[in-house]
Amino acid sequence: MIESQPGPLDGVTVVDLTRALAGPHAGMMLGDLGARVIKVESPGSGDDTRGWGPPFVGPNDEIATYYLSCNRNKESITLDLKSDDGKDTLTKLIAKSDVLLENFRTGVLDRLGFTTTRIHEINPRLVILSITGFGHDGPQGGRAGYDQIAQGEAGLMSMTGPDPETPTKVGVPIADVLSGMYGAYGVVSALYERERTGKGKVIRTSLLASVVGVHAFQGTRWTVGKDLPVAEGPHHPSVAPYGLFRSQDGIVQISVGSESIWGKFAAAFGFDAADPKYANNGDRVRNTHELRKLVNEAFAAYSTEDLLAKLNEVGVPCGEVKNLEQVYEWDQVRSQGLVVDVDHPVLGNIELPGPPLRFYDDDTEWHRDHRYPPLLGEHNDSVRAWLDES
């Protein structure tokens, strides 16, 4: 058996005041990397996601699977931050921690008596991550942030869906998750800078910023090219053929992403690679609707299994569309450490989606044992005992 090892952030303590998904996802990423993450929750109810379901699991259906998705590798302490005891305990946490995460609406933490100035008076080395919905300042800086609203306001839904008349959200709360990822990235950068300066930084990001930050080629398509992106269903707007097509008994996806692949693809399925309408990618995109029809007609002669085999044989990137049951049973997913086992005090042994990073010392992979998402207030006594230590 491989022994669990401390992670790259071993020795870093994080006080996590966040709830819902964006902040908790950032905290979970830091916990995955070995940081000690102390999750501060409201007494009685805890994190909002503890009540987000169904599905709920456990003997009395008391545990939301949503909560389980974003809180592994943490401890939980309950504090009433409006009370003297809550404020005193938070002050002690700030003094002994390296990082503070918060996603309150702008001004809430200030009203509780914890402005950034006050926090850095308590601990000048503390790195502070603040996640908001639309930014902490600007004409709409005080707006509450919810994932689907941010997906719409940040343009993502206008580019997603079967057609321009059907704006569609992404199937996961991508604005929240991206904010958590960008936030964790900012925290690690600030911790590195602190090694030089001795001082903690304030990092700010938002759901709006995180979605705009991943517009990628669609962003410059507009800012430079003045070509307004719209939803085009399961096809690429700038590469063809690239997308979802019908086989005899199902669907497959292909990516003809270069001229050399186009040559192999055309030869395999009887297309004239030199046809002026399809001679290069620009021509193929301009004639994409006619080309899609030809590809679907050619693919209709094959079963999905035979079609994928042929595409792989000639070197055309391809794949099927899996549901999540298929994904989590896929041996490739499991080989990458993307499913982890944890022993939960109520649910017993359960599987959770695992972290996407793997670390190596030369050829030896770093391994850690993951902790189950904590029960509400599970670590009240142990955290308070640690805070009272000299």
Please, which residues have CB within 8 angstroms of residue 2's CB and are 6 or more apart in sequence? 367
Q: What is the pLDDT of residues 72-110, one digit of tens each?
A: 999 999 999 999 999 999 999 999 999 999 999 999 999
Instruction: State what percent of residues in the chain have pLDDT above 90.
Output: 93
Closest CA to 314 of 364, 263, 379: 263
Over range 299-313, report the average pLDDT: 96
Q: Where in the chain is the domain with CATH 3.40.50.10540?
A: 13-214+331-388
Reported pTM: 0.93
- Reduced to 3 states (helix: H, G, I; strand: E, B; else coil), residue 244 is strand
Q: Is 90 exceeded by the pLDDT of residue 390?
A: no
pLDDT computed for residue 142 by the predictor = 83
**CA 264-265-266 angle, 5° bins:** 95
* Residue 13 · residue 98 · CB < 8 Å: yes
Confidence of residue 170 (pLDDT cuts 50, 70, 90): very high
pLDDT computed for residue 364 by the predictor = 87
Least confident range of 1-10, 42-51, 228-237 = 1-10
Q: Which residue has the higher pLDDT, 88 or 6?
A: 88
Q: What is the pLDDT of residues 200-212, one digit of tens each?
A: 999 999 999 999 9
- Reduced to 3 states (helix: H, G, I; strand: E, B; else coil), residue 356 is coil
Identify the CATH class of 13-214+331-388.
alpha beta
Cβ neighbour number for residue 50 with a 10 Å cutoff: 21
**CA 316-302-328 angle, 5° bins:** 65
* Whether CATH 3.90.1570.10 fits 242-321: no
Confidence of residue 362 (pLDDT cuts 50, 70, 90): confident
Q: What is the pLDDT of residues 138-147, one digit of tens each?
A: 999 989 889 9
Instruction: State what percent of residues in the chain have pLDDT above 70.
Output: 99
The CA–CA distances, whole Å, from 91 to 100, 110, 119 equal 11, 14, 8
Report the chain's mean pLDDT, rounded to a whole number.
Answer: 95
* Tokens 């189950």 -> residue: 372
Q: Where in the chain is the domain with CATH 3.30.1540.10?
A: 242-321
pLDDT computed for residue 5 by the predictor = 82
The CA–CA distances, whole Å, from 363 to 1, 343, 358, 360 equal 17, 29, 12, 6
Report d(CA 214, CA 151) in Å as an integer.
Answer: 12
pLDDT computed for residue 231 by the predictor = 95
The CA–CA distances, whole Å, from 307 to 62, 251, 323 equal 46, 10, 19
**CA 72-105-45 angle, 5° bins:** 50
Report d(CA 255, CA 311) in Å as an integer.
Answer: 10
* Residue 38 · residue 15 · CB < 8 Å: yes
pLDDT computed for residue 156 by the predictor = 97
**Which amino acids are annotated catalytic?**
176
The CA–CA distances, whole Å, from 380 to 49, 68, 224 equal 20, 19, 54
Q: What is the pLDDT of residues 173-194, one digit of tens each?
A: 999 999 999 999 999 999 999 9
Q: What is the pLDDT of residues 100-143, one digit of tens each?
A: 999 999 999 999 999 999 999 999 999 999 999 999 999 999 89
Confidence of residue 2 (pLDDT cuts 50, 70, 90): low
The CA–CA distances, whole Å, from 206 to 147, 154, 233 equal 11, 11, 27
Q: Is 70 exceeded by the pLDDT of residue 228?
A: yes
Token pair listed for 139: 């004409």
The CA–CA distances, whole Å, from 377 to 27, 74, 170, 171, 310 equal 17, 11, 33, 31, 56
* Tokens 């936030």 -> residue: 183
Q: Is 90 exceeded by the pLDDT of residue 269?
A: yes
Residue 135 Rama label (left phi>0; alpha psi -120 to 50; beta): left
Taking only Cα atoms into account, the Rg of the chain, rounded to an integer number of angstroms, comes to: 25
Q: Is 90 exceeded by the pLDDT of residue 1?
A: no
| Cβ burial, residue 261 (10 Å; 0-12/13-18/19+) | middle
Q: What is the pLDDT of residues 282-298, one digit of tens each?
A: 999 999 999 999 999 99
